[in-house]
A and B are shown apart, each in its own frame.
Chain A
Amino acid sequence: MSAEQNTLFIQHFWKDSNRTLDYYLKQMNGYEAAKKVLGGMTPDQVVDEVKKANIRGRGGAGFPMGMKWSFIPKNSDKPKYLVCNADESEPGTCKDRQIIRYTPHLLIEGLLIGSFAIGCRHAYVYIRGEYVREAQLLNEAIDEARAAGYIGKNIFGSGYDLEITVHRGAGAYICGEETGLLNSLEGKRGEPRVKPPFPAVSGAFSCPTAVNNVESIANVPHIIRMGGEAFAGLGKIDKSGGTRLISLSGHVQKPGVYEMQAGSMTLRQIIEGFGGGMLNGRRLKAVIPGGSSSPVLTAEEIDVVYDVEPLMKIGTMMGSAAIMVINEDTDMVKLLLRITKFYAHESCGQCTPCREGCHWMESILHKILHGEAKPSDIDLLVDVAGNIGGKTLCALGDAAAMPVQSFLKKFRPEFEAYVKGQKRHA
């Protein structure tokens, strides 16, 4: 399958020597796109090109990137900020890490073009605390770019200045939520802010801010180089341009990061093609299609085109394109407890349903697994999830509620078996 694919990233991955500026310049037409932008394009033209590219945000929400940039007010006197979200913390996701490791200059050039497009003079990369090595590699790449004059003062003699600061987080899932990220960036507690105002109006340091995922920004040089329309044409489905990096994990033969043209494959094709099929010949039981928060799919539901809208139609989401493949030996109760425990642990604690509810769901699941639950506890669990989902300040509540709701909808007998005493926790 992958042989027929047009890819933008993956051919440059997996070799340490590829991350150098030298490789980037010689093998990837490095900084040509930025030169073109600073050499004669207007910010509006850049935004238009990104709009034409039909690129959806790669962080999880899938919001059209060009539109996000166009929300940045042009006539504001305040400084504007481009913040790259490199907090990559949705369980199962490990694609941004490869970009930073192997093609850091794509990200830096993307930041340069994006900053120019929205009028930013100081861009930030908020990188998760656990990415110690990646933060170091990125800083080294920034130093290389600065030494070569690609960032700093008067870039390409255009009069445009840009600084990039890499800010390391302290390891909180919630700092991947864009307003939680901004609070953390400002040195505050990593708690999401109430919206509106949205970051485009009042973001970092109360100034207009665009927050974009690593992969989104790293695609910008490709968009400028190929032209928005050609980039959009890489996508094999409406309203979704370019390629998608996917993080495939779980019970497949070949877990890893892969790249596909957007909308060009179904989930089944991904598992069988990229993944090489199920590990040890076991049967497929379920797939979590877009990071641990996305509603689970059964083995019967995987003939779906892997992109934002087809997945939304069947009640789940593409999220950060992290696919977790689950075989028949997996205990869904244990798995759900593990997922719920994660969200309860990562809840920031500021809003009531998430703070109290996630922990409560974890307690109920713990009781179910250990044979201490009443039959009514299953419905209670569903009801509690319903009181969290859609009712919290940020999306973490939804992220915690969706797995519970979908697991209980699709795998309820496994939970009932524990409650009825037919199954015991080993």
Chain B
Amino acid sequence: MPKCFIDGKEVEFNPGENLVKVAKRAGVEIPVFCYHPGLSVVAQCRMCYVEVEKMPKLQTACSTMAAEGMVVKTQSEAVKKGRQGTMEFLLLNHPLDCPICDKAGECDLQDNSFGHGSATMRHGEERRTYVDVDMGPVIQKNMNRCIHCTRCIRFGDEIAGIHEMVAIKRGNNIDITTIDGKQLKTEYAGNYSDICPTGSLTLKDFRFKKRAWMLKKTATVCEGCSKGCNMEVQHEGNVIYRCIPRENLEINKFWMCDEGRFNYRYTQDEARVVDPKLRGPEGPKTAAWQDVIATVESKIRNGEVLFLVGTDLTNEELSAIREASTALRSGIQIRTFGTPGVTRTTEDGPADNILKMKSKTSNLNGAEKLGLEPLTGDARAETVIVFRGGRAGIPKIEAKWTAGVGVFTREESSGFDSVLPGLAFTEKEGTITNHSGVEQRLARAVRPKGTCKPVSEILMSLLNIKSKAGQA
């Protein structure tokens, strides 16, 4: 492999790699704003200056490819002066409203200012201000904070496949906005906020809810479809505040869709059933766990029983259900359900040209690999028990008695005779297998809501009662 020198350190590189990447491998962080590894290189922000031997001017590391024997200095006086100059220029018109800015604490402008800027200000002119346009339900715009890195424009053009963010006017009056001030159309708008290096594009969903540095971060996988985008759940005090994509170059690169990003909301929605229910004469009523377990056990002891299992459950949950079903008694049928029309992986496929898949549940592939058969037609049995992670679309059920195990809203479970509330994907550990066969791990970010229990514990309780009943 060819080698170059970064601050005296010899580093190997792959031909075509730029100096930002190569330096990173040598442990040298080069500050950037406009550069993003997932977007084209424009060298506009002029922050990533480095000195390259035999080149008279400072070079931008993002647009300079490493070359055999290249000698690069990232800490020389000229580099420091250059970066300081850029920082000064960027802050001339920035409002410096960090105390009330949502980006504070995770802001590239703040970090690079701290690392490379000057502590004093030489600019006494009036700042440039803008009137903001309404960008729709996902993104809040604050153009005064913008540093014109154009990451958002390039994200729209190159990743989301929609030319909706543009630069209008020019020079000092340049404005980064949507075409004709329209609302954003892309279903990937949340990424605009992720890649914005300042607080210019923030998430409406997250605004003013929590300071970034208060958040605890749990690395997990999105359950929004069979893609399995890697993401991070950010939470504090057992409340989830937002989810952001995690880099995985094989699966989702740096991005995720809004559906996946905001999917977490249902897990802490008021409408979620978080305590066990039994139907009484006046409708569903909260009951003691042991009573609900006993009732379910009695219902599945005889007659024709169907276990409907969602393809939104983990591999471990699916295996446990299958094993428990045979242990409970013989003859229990198991059928999977998930996305109408996408019952097998052969029916799954990309739903757009970006990330989304047709299967709106995360583990269709895992369920199929376990040999579970999909439900065809309506669910018809004397007793039906619906196991569900929270996203699988509940089919039409014709049964004398129905119970739900897992995550349901009150409305979804209104026809059920009993609900045994389970854990949402943010509350449990387990693995899911994405459409291409990659097995990934869900991580528990928050404690279960109410008295929700894991599927495995519910199944064990059913088996315990059965064995006690057998002894009696």
Q: Which of B47, B60, B169 contacts A349 (CB 8 A)?
A: B169
Q: A393 at the A/B interface (Cβ < 8 Å)? A: yes
- Complex: how many Å from CA A347 to CA B174? 10
CA distance A84 to B60 in the complex (A): 29
**In the complex, are the beta carbons of B43 and A349 less than 8 A apart?**
no
A352-B170 in contact (CB<8A): no
Interface string of B65-99 (1 = CB under 8 A from A): 00000000000000001100110111011000000
Contact residues of A between 8 and 34, Cβ < 8 Å to B: none
Given contacts A194-B41, A350-B148, A350-B167, contact A359 B46 (CB under 8 A): no
Query: Is A348 in contact with chain B by the CB < 8 A criterion?
Result: yes
**A352 engages B148 (CB within 8 Å):** yes
Selected from B57, B88, B93, B170, the residue in CB contact (under 8 A) with A347 is B170
Question: Which of these, A346, A351, A380, contacts B122 with CB under 8 Å?
Answer: A380
Distance (whole angstroms) from the CB of B58 to the closest CB of chain A:
6
A345 to B49, CA, bound (A): 26
Q: Are A351 and B93 in contact (CB under 8 A)?
A: no
Interface flag for A387 (CB, 8 Å): yes
Q: How large is the interface on B (under 10, 10 to 19, 20 to 34, 35 or more residues)?
A: 20 to 34
How close is A395's CB to chain B, nearest CB, in angstroms? 11
Q: Please, which residues of chain B bring their CB within 8 A of the CB of A393?
A: 43-44, 46
Interface string of A345-381 (1 = CB under 8 A from B): 1111111111111111001000000000000000010
Residues in A neighbouring B471, C-beta threshold 8 A: none
What is the distance, in angstroms, from B129's C-beta to the closest C-beta of chain A? 14
CB of A248 closer than 8 Å to a CB of B:
no
Q: Is the CB of A348 within 8 A of B170?
A: yes
Whether the Cβ atoms of A347 and B85 lie closer than 8 Å is: no
Q: How extensive is the interface on chain A, given as a class? A: 20 to 34
**Chain B 118-168 residues near chain A, CB threshold 8 A:** 122-123, 125, 147-148, 150, 167
Closest to A356 in B: B89
The yes or no answer to B346 lying at the interface (CB within 8 A) is no
The answer to whether the Cβ of B465 comes within 8 Å of any Cβ in the partner chain is no
Residues of chain A lying within 8 A (CB to CB) of residue B122: 380
Q: Is the CB of A391 within 8 A of B82?
A: yes
Residue among B41, B49, B123, B167 making CB contact with A360, cutoff 8 Å: B123
Judging by beta carbons under 8 Å apart, are B89 and A353 in contact? Answer: yes
Mark B315-331 against chain A: 1 for CB-CB distance below 8 A, else 0.
00000000000000000
CB proximity to A under 8 Å, residues B190-217:
none
Asked whether B173 lies within 8 Å of A349 as measured between CB atoms, the reply is: yes
Tell me whether B16 is interfacial, beta carbon within 8 Å: no
Distance between B234 CB and nearest chain A CB, rounded to angstroms = 31
- Chain B residues near A354 (CB, 8 Å)? 171
Q: How far is the CB of A398 from chain B (nearest CB, A)?
A: 10
Point out the residues of chain A lying under 8 angstroms from B167, CB to CB.
189, 349-350
A360 to B, closest residue via Cβ:
B92
A344 surroundings in chain B (CB, below 8 A): 171-172
Which of B63, B82, B173 touches A194 (beta carbons < 8 Å)?
B63
Interface: A98 (CB within 8 A):
no
| Chain B residue, CB-CB nearest to A387 | B85
Bound CA span A264–B344, Å = 83
A91: CB under 8 A from chain B? no
Do B41 and A391 touch (CB < 8 A)?
Answer: no
How far, in angstroms, from A44 to B47 measured CA to CA in the complex?
43
Closest to B88 in A: A387
Task: For residue B109, give the distance in angstroms from its CB to the closest CB of chain A.
Answer: 12
Q: Which residues of B contact A356 (CB under 8 A)?
A: 89-90, 92-93, 172
Shortest Cβ gap from B125 to chain A (Å): 5
Residue interface mask A232-247, B partner, CB < 8 A = 1: 0000000000000000
Residues of A within 8 A of B88 (CB): 387
Contact, CB under 8 Å: B49 / A391 = yes
Once bound together, how far apart are the Cα atoms of A189 and B174, in whole Å? 12
On chain A, the residues within 8 Å of B63 by CB distance are 194
Q: Is B45 an interface residue (CB 8 A)?
A: yes
Give complex CA distance A359, B47 in Å.
Answer: 19
| A70: chain B residues within 8 A (beta carbon) | none
Q: Are A358 and B171 in contact (CB under 8 A)?
A: yes
Question: Closest Cβ of chain A: how far from B88's Cβ, in Å?
Answer: 7
Kindly state whether residue B381 has any CB partner on chain A within 8 Å: no
Contact call B171/A359, Cβ cutoff below 8 A:
yes
Dominant SS among interface residues on chain A: helix
A357 to B46, CA, bound (A): 12
Asked if residues A351 and B46 are in contact (CB atoms below 8 Å), the reply is: yes
Q: What is the 8 Å Cβ interface bit string for chain B, positions 30-63, against chain A (1 contact, 0 not)?
A: 0000000000011111110100000001101001
Contact A355 B82, beta carbon cutoff 8 Å: no
Q: Which residue of B lies closest to A363 (CB)?
A: B125
Across the interface, do B85 and A359 meet the contact criterion of CB distance under 8 Å? no
Report the minimal beta-carbon distance from B139 to chain A, rounded to whole angstroms. Answer: 22
Q: How far is the CA of A386 from the CA of B42 in the complex (A)?
A: 22
A355 x B172 contact (CB < 8 A): yes
Q: Is the CB of B171 within 8 A of A346?
A: yes
A350–B146 Cα gap in the complex (Å)?
A: 12
Q: In the complex where A189-B167, A363-B125 touch, is A353 in contact with B148 (Cβ < 8 A)?
A: no
- Contact present for A355 and B86 (CB under 8 Å): no
CA distance in complex: A356, B89 (Å): 6
Residues on B with C-beta less than 8 A from A353 are 46, 85-86, 89
Residue A62 at the B interface, CB < 8 A?
Answer: no
> Which of chain B's residues has its CB closest to A386's CB?
B85
A352 near B44 with CB under 8 A, answer yes
How far in angstroms is the closest Cβ of chain A from B49?
7
**A-chain residues with CB within 8 Å of residue B57 when the two chains form the complex:** 390-391
A392 contacts the other chain (CB 8 A):
yes
User: Bound state CA distance, A346 and B169, in angstroms?
Assistant: 11
A177 CB to closest chain B CB (Å) equals: 13
Tell me, in angstroms, the Cα distance from A349 to B148 when the chains sit together.
Answer: 8
The complex places the Cα of A380 from the Cα of B44 at a distance, in Å, of: 24
**Given the complex of chains A and B, what is the CA–CA distance between A172 and B169 in angstroms?**
12
Q: Which of A204-258 contact B (CB under 8 A)?
A: none
Residue pair A351, B58 in contact (C-beta under 8 Å)? no
How far is the CB of A383 from the nearest CB of chain B, in Å? 8
A194 CA to B42 CA, complexed, in Å:
6
CB distance from B353 to the nearest CB of A (A): 21
Residues 383-426 of A, flagged 1 when their CB comes within 8 A of B and 0 if not, give 00011001111000000000000000000000000000000000
B44 & A350 in contact (Cβ 8 Å cutoff): yes
- CA of A25 to CA of B146, assembled, Å: 58
Residues of B within 8 A of A392 (CB): 46
B58 and A390 contact, CB distance less than 8 A: yes
> Using an 8 Å CB-CB cutoff, how does the interface string of A44-81 with B read, 1 for contact, 0 for none?
00000000000000000000000000000000000000
Residues of A within 8 A of B82 (CB): 387, 391
- Report the minimal beta-carbon distance from B57 to chain A, rounded to whole angstroms: 5
List of B residues within 8 angstroms of A348 by Cβ: 170-171, 174
Shortest C-beta distance, B143 to chain A (Å), equals 13
A-B contact pairs, 10 of them (CB 8 A): A174-B170, A194-B42, A350-B150, A350-B174, A354-B171, A387-B88, A391-B46, A391-B49, A391-B82, A393-B44
* Those 5 A-B pairs whose CB atoms lie nearest each other, nearest first: A387-B85, A349-B174, A356-B89, A359-B172, A347-B171
Binding site for B on A (CB under 8 A): 172, 174, 189, 194, 344-360, 363, 380, 386-387, 390-393
Known: A352-B90, A356-B172, A391-B85. 12 other contacts (CB 8 A): A194-B42, A347-B171, A349-B167, A349-B173, A352-B86, A353-B89, A359-B171, A360-B123, A390-B57, A391-B82, A393-B43, A393-B46
Residues of B within 8 A of A (CB): 41-47, 49, 57-58, 60, 63, 81-82, 85-86, 88-90, 92-93, 122-123, 125, 147-148, 150, 167, 169-174
